């Protein structure tokens, strides 16, 4: 309390006032305050029981704001077109989904340019009906993926006809249909015509079953399916006066086809005339806004067509003008070759049944050859034909551009084994090897016009030089080169080596000429992105380099031998050249050999399961270099009478009567 009194006295001295803030009950207040403060501090230090620390939180949110966040933003304006786009693929009406459904191969990089950015513009609102139209008919079918197919492999005409039957049924879903059958009348097509003749029963039986089931597409049409039969060879002959639905009449027309002995097949002229003849079924006028019928053209042939170069373009235009798809029951084209050999057996059993072979034109699969004509080591010819995976260019392009299908029919088709000439079926060309269609689809040729093809070839120097090299004459490797040299004396040994060099010396300029053509396109090779052109150029360059090394190293080995060979065994007098992987006649040739292997091995690695890889592997089997092996040959003269003996007299067998062989007729022009 004394403290409070001292504070009061100090306040009066400083202020001169009698009353201070500490007068009255103030001292009691402060005392109470400090006492309670001390008590609270003491209680804070005491241990208290642990309390439950779990806290329940309740979070609330404005319901209106939540609904606002979940609302989808719908554009006020959108656009659509009722007109179908002329483009096919990702730019079409169906977008990417349609492009994927019809694409035989999905590219790694899209070939579709980016769309240009356009300025926004105000447009009017568009009213949309609630009804949704469903697509029907041929515009949407499970087989759309093969429309315009470049090569569907079959082992017989029956399989192709069954597929065509299905195409006919699809056409009938849209409207009445006319099928025009065009048959090659050459002798080699006798078995095919008979097979299709017998298959007609199944076609019309299937159609009859569908009609009897009450299918609306038949009930709403009178004579929904008509057919017409035309034969062609050097000329064109209509075997049915008018399109008919009579099965017997159609079969009689096919059976009446006579063999054309000219060997000429003007198939494009026949298709063009058929399209022109039946174009009236496709006419539309103001009174008749829809055509009367669909028209399908089916061609059965086993060659490229004698008139394809002059007849292809106008025939494509004619069929496209009247929307007539062309289906071809044809043959596989030999890889990179125009001709192949067909096995012919006389159909008349009274004559000799021994197989005969005739040359037929069934290729190539491209507009221009894309494979150099170069025989393999030790072979006079360019080896046995192999399948290209596609049909001949002209007929295949006709099918592709009109929306049809090319059926490559071969009875020996197999991707698991090679086919020998002996096993080749009669009336069929010899094709040694076939390839998986799913692999070959990525190597489809360019089915475009001559102008467009030339434009694409000119776009890359490697393509141009490959075509130029492929158009060069056939080039042979050294045919059975001399490899064994016996040294009786220095003069005769040197002469023998010089004679052997002549074959190599004659071949070297031609090989180097072909190499120089291809070398000019080497700078553009790395710019090439199309698999087919990559494989073609690499195979050509690799093979030419391989032949160059073999020929020049052979010549160099002989030249070195003329300068002298040191035998390991003093008795050795014979020197034999053996193929070997080592190049022992200079580093320059070793570098060329390394380049040859690089090209060939790249083909094998990057194009597995293709004709290019098969040919590259065959070239790699033969070593590129040579080595000398020494041995001894006895050159001493033989004693007179040595080796002679009393030969046993031939047995005097009785003459046996032999059956007279059947007469033999030469094979007709195939």
Output the pLDDT for position 216: 58
The CA–CA distances, whole Å, from 650 to 653, 654, 656 equal 9, 12, 16
For the chain, the structural domain boundaries read 1-28, 146-457, 459-631
Q: Are 200 and 250 in contact (CB under 8 A)?
A: yes
**Element of type H or E holding 458:** helix 450-458
Output the pLDDT for position 285: 78
Output the pLDDT for position 620: 95
Q: Are 314 and 373 in contact (CB under 8 A)?
A: no
Q: Are 364 and 385 in contact (CB under 8 A)?
A: no
Output the pLDDT for position 277: 95
Q: How far apart are CA 297 and CA 534, in angstroms?
A: 36
The answer to whether the predicted template modeling score (pTM) of the entire model surpasses 0.85 is no
Output the pLDDT for position 379: 63
Residue carrying structure tokens 């776009």 = 459
Output the pLDDT for position 540: 97
314 sits in the region (left: phi over 0; alpha: psi -120 to 50; else beta) called: alpha
Output the pLDDT for position 66: 42
Output the pLDDT for position 614: 96
> Comparing C-alpha atoms, which of 414, 249, 435 is closest to residue 334?
435
- Which segments of the chain have a pLDDT < 50? 50-61, 63-147
3.40.640.10, 3.40.50.1000, 3.40.50.410, 3.10.180.10: CATH of 146-457: 3.40.50.410
Output the pLDDT for position 479: 73
Output the pLDDT for position 39: 74
Output the pLDDT for position 11: 56
Output the pLDDT for position 57: 41
Helices (H), 563-606: 587-606
Q: How far apart are CA 468 and CA 458, in angstroms?
A: 12
Output the pLDDT for position 165: 85
């Amino acid at each position: 309390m004394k403290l409070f009194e001292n504070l009061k006295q100090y306040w009066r001295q400083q202020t001169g006032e009698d009353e201070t803030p500490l007068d009255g009950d103030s001292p009691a207040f402060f005392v109470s305050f400090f006492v309670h403060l001390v008590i609270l501090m003491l209680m804070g230090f005491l241990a208290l029981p642990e309390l439950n620390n779990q806290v329940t939180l309740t979070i609330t949110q404005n319901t209106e704001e939540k609904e606002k966040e979940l609302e989808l933003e719908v554009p006020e304006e959108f656009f659509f077109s009722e007109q179908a786009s002329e483009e096919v693929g990702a730019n079409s009406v169906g977008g990417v989904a349609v492009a994927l459904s019809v694409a035989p191969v999905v590219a790694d990089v899209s070939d579709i340019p980016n769309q240009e950015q356009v300025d926004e513009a105000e447009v009017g609102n568009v009213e949309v009906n609630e009804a949704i139209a469903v697509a029907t008919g041929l515009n949407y079918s499970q087989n759309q993926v093969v429309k315009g197919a470049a090569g569907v492999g079959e082992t017989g005409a029956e399989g192709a006809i069954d597929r065509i039957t299905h195409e006919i049924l699809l056409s009938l879903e849209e409207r009445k249909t006319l099928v025009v059958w065009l048959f090659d009348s050459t002798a080699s097509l006798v078995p095919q015509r008979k097979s299709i003749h017998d298959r007609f029963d199944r076609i019309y039986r299937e159609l009859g079953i569908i009609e009897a089931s009450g299918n609306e597409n038949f009930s709403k049409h009178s004579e929904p399916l008509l057919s017409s039969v035309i034969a062609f060879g050097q000329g064109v002959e209509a075997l049915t006066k008018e399109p008919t639905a009579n099965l017997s009449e159609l079969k009689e027309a096919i059976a009446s086809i006579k063999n054309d002995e000219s060997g000429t097949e003007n198939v494009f002229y026949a298709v063009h005339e058929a399209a022109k003849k039946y174009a009236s079924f496709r006419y539309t006028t103001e009174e008749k806004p829809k055509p009367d019928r669909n028209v399908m053209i089916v061609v059965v042939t086993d060659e490229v067509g004698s008139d394809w170069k002059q007849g292809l373009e106008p025939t494509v235009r004619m069929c496209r003008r009247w929307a007539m798809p062309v289906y071809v029951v044809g043959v596989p084209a030999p890889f990179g070759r125009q001709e192949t050999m067909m096995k012919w057996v006389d159909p008349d059993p009274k004559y000799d049944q021994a197989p005969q072979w005739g040359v037929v034109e069934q290729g190539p699969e491209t507009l221009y050859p894309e494979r150099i004509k170069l025989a393999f080591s030790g072979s006079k010819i360019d080896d046995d034909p192999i399948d290209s995976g596609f049909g001949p260019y002209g007929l295949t392009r006709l099918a592709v551009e009109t929306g049809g299908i090319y059926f490559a029919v071969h009875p020996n088709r197999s991707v698991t084994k090679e086919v020998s000439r002996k096993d080749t079926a009669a009336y069929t060309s010899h094709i040694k090897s076939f390839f998986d269609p799913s692999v070959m689809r990525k190597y489809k040729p360019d089915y475009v016009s001559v102008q467009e093809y030339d434009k694409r070839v000119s776009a890359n120097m490697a393509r141009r030089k490959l075509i130029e090299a492929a158009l060069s004459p056939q080039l042979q490797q050294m045919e059975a080169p001399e490899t064994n040299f016996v040294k009786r004396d220095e003069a005769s040994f040197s002469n023998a080596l010089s004679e052997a060099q002549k074959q190599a010396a004659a071949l070297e300029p031609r090989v180097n000429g072909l190499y120089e053509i291809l070398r000019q396109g080497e700078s553009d090779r790395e710019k090439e992105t199309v698999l087919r052109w990559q494989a073609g150029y690499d195979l050509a360059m690799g093979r030419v380099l391989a032949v160059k090394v073999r020929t020049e190293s052979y010549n160099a080995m002989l030249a070195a031998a003329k300068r002298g060979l040191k035998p390991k065994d003093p008795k050795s007098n014979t020197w034999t050249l053996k193929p070997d992987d080592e190049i022992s006649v200079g580093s320059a040739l070793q570098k060329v050999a390394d380049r040859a292997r690089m090209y060939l091995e790249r083909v094998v690695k990057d194009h597995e399961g293709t004709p290019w890889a098969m040919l590259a592997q065959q070239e790699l089997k033969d070593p590129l270099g040579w080595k000398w092996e020494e041995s001894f040959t006895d050159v001493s003269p033989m004693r007179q009478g040595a080796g002679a003996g009393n030969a046993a007299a031939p047995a005097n067998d009785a003459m046996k009567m032999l059956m007279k062989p059947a007469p033999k007729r030469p094979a007709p022009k195939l």
